[in-house]
Structure 1
């Protein structure tokens, strides 16, 4: 394409060390192959800010803003302005000014906004500039689900967020040339909700770095007895990976540790459950007091834990899109037991590439059966690896990106 790309991201897309950064990192890498890229993004902390110089090696220019707005201030501001709280939480005048200056001074021909909260940084665009909105997930549906489950003030807040955020998503999609979601299931839900067609709302699936997440790759093995908690030993090892201050992950491991693991330990008394991921909340840390539970916190290389796992679990009850944790475990040729929600966006067959379990009783039964049949567990893992090799290479999932950024404008785009 002729001209530059403006890429707006709610978290610095470097390095690919957590779920939302994995997709944005690979998007950035692909965009850099197409044209010079100018990146505007937020950093959560000093660690994130430290990656700015690394990212600068591949960007044409960039603005990395430390996110310093508290949730209380964001909440009050969002209520006063009738904004989604998610949008209010990710706001900063410096980034608005940088976007305006970049649009004025650089030959921008395409804008890519990653995640709904970055759409409010996209100004009214001239006709020659194409706008790709990568929502990734149908976020308002997640908040609506939380609101339906809960009462009291938080239930009200989540129900409000579901309504207000959906209105924002709908208006954003109306002015974008194309809106993308991480799976066809998510895209179809959004099309049904907002009334736009498949020419305007599409799926751009996640991929997996198959050379990195490879059981034959060179990575350090882990000591199966390490970690915080009462789970040290050499019995069967069940592993969950993820960012451990994220509510769906917190709820998933709490349910598994309290309801599924005891049923498994009734058959395998030495079975352990390792919760592997950065920033465990206090409630997650407390799970280490339960028999058989290990809480590792952040680890240098998650592949060692995946490789050591007898079974990888993904018992999420609320999940959107494609779960990277499931793709990575499948790529490492591990047998996976996932909830229907965690497996929904992945093009894989139950009982052939992974096992789907709808509740703690099913999880326990299917894991116990796998532990009793190592040959089947191995075959399931090998089939999983074959499936991601066939379907989830980043080069394939992002192959259409150049055409999306240069295709003729859809009728009605930029109208709202």
Structure 2
């Protein structure tokens, strides 16, 4: 097959989120199929990584979109009905480039990443198109409203209403994908969207792999993620303020490490009193190897969390709120312990920190789940199947 990936961000380096998923899916599909890429170039520094993408994609098309253009798009977004995040990526140059590519190539399938890129392929009904979403966005923003205040809550409410209305665009695609069964069920039952399937996030098990995790260290609690991402910022603030003190009452010398790029001021201010903020870490696997447990105390968001999958792949036990757990389709204890309330969350952390055997049992169960369900090889094979199912005769 000849497949075109339409990405909202330059997919390298593949550290987190949007970039990570496109890179790993395309890398694996390129072993059997011809894959092309069209994406925005917002930072010219990304050009240094072009050679890495050329190892995967037969053709790469970069459409310039400056930050100023995106900010202007967002500012004038009040004049339109689309979500602000969709307006942020509005580009007539991208529209023209896609029209050009359609005339040059007969694609067997087009992978459209994120709701942000959905308008570019909305009307190309003669081309097999898959819209791949990280989560059910209206559900994500609904949860975000519940955890916000003041002006932030007003903006989040406006965006949620726009996203809620805009999600109807999913019906214009041959198939839409979300990361978890929770998101799929929400879109089917609450939104009446039928052409929706599940494509989970994955893990590169060649990178995040531990043949023999050391379960003896019992003093380090780890949180990873992009630390300018609102759900992560809220999660670490909540953990430090409401949960970590309960744990320190039982284990006074325990440490909480926040590892992730671009920590905002609210995160940096958490450092001290047993809390360390590392900033960007190139090799996160080293952090997981040192961790006793990983926590995912997210109060809003949707989909599946890379931080949880990576920890499971490394054999590190996780304690998680519903968000970060519900999308995994597992039982509590299969790598992740579900703890929806702060007192229970603290108690589960303490129980794990006090028992190396429990950490090992939970951790090894998680590794097996990753091997059978969340290896990128498995996920890419599933995407290939979806493309074959919508391929035109």
> Normalising by structure 2, what TM-score?
0.92
Indicate conservation of the 8 Å contact 2:144/2:301, yes or no.
no
234, 239, 242: which is aligned to 2:225?
242
| 1:49/1:248 CA distance change after superposition, 3 Å | farther
- In 2, Cα distance between the equivalents of 1:104 and 1:243? 39
Q: CA deviation at 1:302?
A: 0.5
Q: Does 1:110 align with 2:109?
A: yes
Q: CA deviation at 1:41?
A: 1.5
333, 342, 345: which is aligned to 2:315?
333
The within-5 A match list for 1:3-152 is: 4-70=2-68, 72-122=71-121, 124-127=123-126, 129-152=127-150
- In 2, Cα distance between the equivalents of 1:105 and 1:50? 27
Q: Structure 2: which 5+ residue stretches go unaligned?
A: none
- In 1, Cα distance between the equivalents of 2:42 and 2:243? 34
* 1:343-395: CA deviation from partner (whole Å, max 9, x where unpaired): 11113221343211113222211111111111111221112112221222222
Partner SS, residue 321 of structure 1: coil
Partner SS, residue 385 of structure 1: helix
The within-5 A match list for 1:335-414 is: 335-408=317-390
Q: CA deviation at 1:398?
A: 2.7
- In 1, Cα distance between the equivalents of 2:378 and 2:203? 11
- In 2, Cα distance between the equivalents of 1:96 and 1:344? 37
Deviates more, 1:157-166 or 1:398-407: 398-407
The aligned residue for residue 209 of structure 1 is: 204
Q: CA deviation at 1:30?
A: 3.4
Q: CA deviation at 1:149?
A: 4.2
Indicate conservation of the 8 Å contact 1:235/1:272, yes or no.
no
- In 2, Cα distance between the equivalents of 1:79 and 1:53? 39
Indicate conservation of the 8 Å contact 1:148/1:159, yes or no.
no
- In 1, Cα distance between the equivalents of 2:350 and 2:62? 47
| 1:57/1:324 CA distance change after superposition, 3 Å | same
Indicate conservation of the 8 Å contact 1:134/1:179, yes or no.
yes
Q: CA deviation at 1:107?
A: 2.2
Partner SS, residue 306 of structure 1: helix
- In 1, Cα distance between the equivalents of 2:188 and 2:176? 10
- In 2, Cα distance between the equivalents of 1:216 and 1:62? 37
Q: CA deviation at 1:54?
A: 1.7
Partner SS, residue 33 of structure 1: coil
Partner SS, residue 156 of structure 1: helix
Q: Structure 1: which 5+ residue stretches go unaligned?
A: 222-233, 411-416
Indicate conservation of the 8 Å contact 1:338/1:354, yes or no.
yes
Q: CA deviation at 1:53?
A: 2.8
Indicate conservation of the 8 Å contact 2:255/2:275, yes or no.
yes
Partner SS, residue 62 of structure 2: strand
Partner SS, residue 208 of structure 2: coil
- In 1, Cα distance between the equivalents of 2:324 and 2:191? 24
Q: CA deviation at 1:403?
A: 3.5
- In 2, Cα distance between the equivalents of 1:284 and 1:152? 20
Indicate conservation of the 8 Å contact 1:49/1:66, yes or no.
no
- In 2, Cα distance between the equivalents of 1:387 and 1:135? 23
**Aligned Cα RMSD in Å?**
2.3
Partner SS, residue 142 of structure 2: helix
Partner SS, residue 296 of structure 1: strand
| 1:149/1:263 CA distance change after superposition, 3 Å | closer
- In 2, Cα distance between the equivalents of 1:141 and 1:255? 21
Q: CA deviation at 1:235?
A: 7.1
The aligned residue for residue 270 of structure 2 is: 287
| 1:293/1:43 CA distance change after superposition, 3 Å | farther
Moved over 6 A (4+): none
Give the number of aligned pairs: 389
Partner SS, residue 125 of structure 1: coil
* 1:49-106: CA deviation from partner (whole Å, max 9, x where unpaired): 4322321232122223454245652332211122210101112232222211111112
Q: CA deviation at 1:32?
A: 2.2
The aligned residue for residue 175 of structure 1 is: 172
269, 290, 295: which is aligned to 1:308?
290
